[in-house]
Structures are given as C-alpha cells and as structure tokens.
Amino acid sequence: MITHSPLKSMENITTAKNPFLYQYEQSVVAKSTFTNIGFDDHELEDLVERGILKLVQNGKYTLRFVGVLIPQIPFDTKAIIVLPKYLKSIELNSHKMEAHLGLILNALESYRSSKRQIEVDDHLFFPSNFGAESSNGLALADFFIKDFLKHGIYRKSRTVYQTNSNGRIDWKRTIDRQVPLISRNTVVYTSTIHKRTEFTNESDVSTFHKYVVSKLIQMYGGVLGYSLHPNIPGQVENLEMMQQQVLEKKTSTLWQKLNKELRQTYGHRNITLIRNLMNFIEPSYSSSNSMLVMGTKNFEKIWEEILLRYLDSNGTTSSINDNFPSAEWWNLEHKPISNAPRGKPITDTVAKVSDDKYIIADAKYYDFDYDEITCSFNGKGPGFNDIQKQVFYEKLLMSIKGDVECANILIYPRYELEDDCILKPFGTVHIPVEGLPFIVNFFGNSEKLLQYYTRSVNATNSDLASLFKVSRKNSHIAFSHSNLSNHV
C-alpha cells in the first residue's frame, strides 16, 4: 500500500510546462502510470468500484471513462486527461486536446443541468465542492478563473473620512467632532464629516492574484473550456520575485502578507480568495479530502443527446416514441397475457423536415476509423443488430405516419470535417433484401457539435432539408448500383 507524505507545495505549478498525462478511453494503462503521480491503492480500488477503471491482467487497467482524474495528493501536480476513443487515431497537439476536453466538460455540465440528478448520477462525475478552498491545481484554476471573470483582481479597501467632501455623511463622527451653530432653536452643522471607501489593486496581494490567475489560465484554462489569453488579468510586476516567493513557501514574506490580509479581510468571497492564494503557495485550507474525478463513463449517451438536441428542437422524437406500439402477448386461445413484458422501441432521434418528410438518425459511438483512400474500416464498427434496428424504425414510422419519405442515417463522431462541415456522408449500409432501405453513414463534426450543444444552437429548417436531400440522394445512388435494382 502506497502512503502519502505530508501535503506538498504547489511550487511546480510555476514551472511545469504541462500538468497533464494524456490517455484515451478503452486504452489499457499500466498501474505505474497512476501510482507515479500519486494515486494510491485505495483510490485505484475506488475507481474500479465506480466502473471508471477495469482491472485486467498483469496489474493493468482499461479506462472506461472520458474526463479528468487527479489523486488526492499528487506528487507533481500531474493530472490524467482521458480523451474519447474517436481521437485515438488523430494526431493533435496538447492545446487542441485540452481544448476539446474543455468542450466535453462544458457539454457534460450542460447535460447535467438539463436532466434530473437521479437520471445522471450513474455515469456523470462532478465534484460538489469544486469551487471551494482546494489544494488541487485544476480546482484552484476553476475557482480563480470564474472568480476573476465575475469580480476582477482583488482590491484592497480602506475607509477615508474627510470634512465637506464626497461620500456619505458620518453623523456620529460629525456630532462627536464638530461644533454646531444654534439658529432659531435649530442645530446647524456648517461642516460635516464624510465617509467613503477607496479601493486599490496596487498591493502585493493584488499583484500576486494577477500572477496566479495568469499562470492557471495558461496551465488549465483550455481543459476547463476557457478561451482566454494568460495576460488578460494584466501585466504582472516583479514576475521573478513572485516566482521566488512561491518557492520559499511559508517562509516567504508574501505568505506573511497573505496571512495578515486574511485576518483583516471580511466577506465570503475575499476570505475564500485569500485562502486559495495561500493554497497556491502551500496547501493549507481544503474543503475536500478526496481525489478529483470529473467526467463520464458513458460518453455514448452524451453523443446521443448532442445529436438529439441539434437535429430535433421540436420534440418530434418524444412524440414518435410515444406513438410506437408496445409488443402484445397472447396465449394460444388468443387471450391477452397479463403482466407480460411491455418493452417498446425507442429511437435516438427523429427530425421532422416537413409533414411528409422525416429523418431517422442513430448516434453511433464505436472505436473505429474509416480510411477513405483504402476504403476500409479499422477497428470495431456497428453490428447487424444496429442496422436491423434502423430498418425496423423506418417501417414503424411509416406505419404510424402513412405515406411519408424517410432519410435513414447513422452518425459517428469525428474531430473535424473539411470546410467546417457539420455532417458529412461517407457511405451506405443495407441488408440485401428487396424493399429494405439503404442507410447512409455520416460523420458528425464533434468539435462543432459540442460547441452547438453548449450554446443551444439547433439545425435550422434549411439545414434539415439539406440533410434530408443529401441522404436521400446517396441512398438512391447506392440503390442504383446494387444488385437489387436489377430485379425492380
């Protein structure tokens, strides 16, 4: 069993170029990858119990998760970023990988906000105290960036009293210190003492606050979903001195100034801010005693929701699913069997293009890559049941809607598409039986669709009409080149 040393300084935040180790969903990872950055056996057992890791042979683990993992007390402030499996075959620099995970975490937060908590607890993981005092680099970054965007850089306040100046009259001081005139039985003060609050952000605490915000934006801004330049807090004076003060930890004069400021400040925001500035130097205040887990172990569900939100903003899917019939059970005398299973088909997405045109879309999330040059799949793709299900959905939809046209499509995530396309066809699939539809395969631009999801951007009527047209065109072309067309 690995034991932790006392809380370590976060001094490496000031020098580390990249605090992340990059892994991919479904990858097999050695135990040493986790233990080398501070995960102990108890934490690994917890991750296995939660279904985030699966223990395999030779003490290795399979990652069943997309998100961020950080031990309770990291040895070198490192965190593990787990990216979706569709990025495995793509070469991306660290900035793009972190930015993409930032989009995913924002999408997970949007998904969590849109669902009842009981529905999402099974696969979503978000620390409840993420914005409180913390000794965790990512949590500190989340706090400082959000706090800066809302309140700006810390300002030192002082109360100033002046005679006959701007500000509110301090009647107690005026009465105690000024001699009034008596005129017609009325007390008149010819001079009054005024009170006002002055703010300054020129203190060492304010300068250090700028330094911390800048450093944390640089290190963690992308993975938290922020597109901010590190210089946005302003120019940091005496940068080398600040770095040296952090290295000196609790023996630094900066630490003493922060400690003094903490004793003199008031208000929840200021107290939390000062404590976290101290945590940046050396962890001292923490509302959490556990590792940080933020992400999902079911990204497929998120991909389904992203496509549903984009293609169906009118609730067509829910209406169609409600109208699909349940299976009916009868005995051999044709009497209904009571308490029989009541399962019914449920589509991922049905988009209404017009009264007589519908798109049936199924979100597919597989670990496979399509090589357009060699026209081949690498990895595992959809099976026969996936295709059969889509055919059945189309037949059911036509049975309840009558004489309608259907575009039947499967959509797979891809990091980016040419010309910033949102959906791009790359082929068809069908069961070679007369009368069954040709289903069109599409890649979905995951980068764009994640952005659209968090911004609540939906496909327009024109977008849906264009998607329907492209799908039907490719379906008809595929049919004309098949053996089935020769029998019609």
User: How many C-beta neighbours within 10 Å does residue 72 have?
Assistant: 19
Q: How confident is the model at residue 62 (pLDDT cuts 50, 70, 90)?
A: very high
Q: What is the pLDDT of residue 388?
A: 93
Q: What is the pLDDT of residue 201?
A: 57
Instruction: Tell me how far apart the alpha carbons of residues 405 and 355 are, in angstroms, rounded to a whole number.
Output: 10
**What would the pLDDT profile of 229-277 be if each residue is shown by its tens digit?**
888 888 887 788 888 888 888 999 999 999 998 888 888 888 999 999 9
pLDDT higher than threshold 90 for residue 468: yes
What are the strands, taking DSSP E only, across 238-373?
292-296, 349-354, 357-363, 368-371
Domain assignments of the chain as residue spans, ordered by start: 11-130+290-296, 137-281, 299-487
Of the ranges 92-101, 284-293, 388-397, which one carries the lowest mean pLDDT score? Answer: 284-293
Say how many C-beta atoms besides its own lie within 10 A of residue 254's C-beta: 22
Residue range 433-455: average pLDDT? 94
Residue 303: its pLDDT value, please? 96
Q: How confident is the model at residue 194 (pLDDT cuts 50, 70, 90)?
A: confident
Instruction: Summarize the confidence of residues 412-435 as an average pLDDT.
Output: 92
pLDDT of residue 319: 94
pTM above 0.75, yes or no: yes
pLDDT surpassing 70 at residue 57: yes
- Segment 68-110, tens digit of pLDDT: 999 987 776 789 999 999 998 888 999 999 999 999 999 999 9
Strand pairing class (423-429; 186-188): unpaired
81: alpha, beta or left, given left = phi > 0 and alpha = psi -120 to 50? beta
What is the residue-averaged pLDDT of the chain? 86
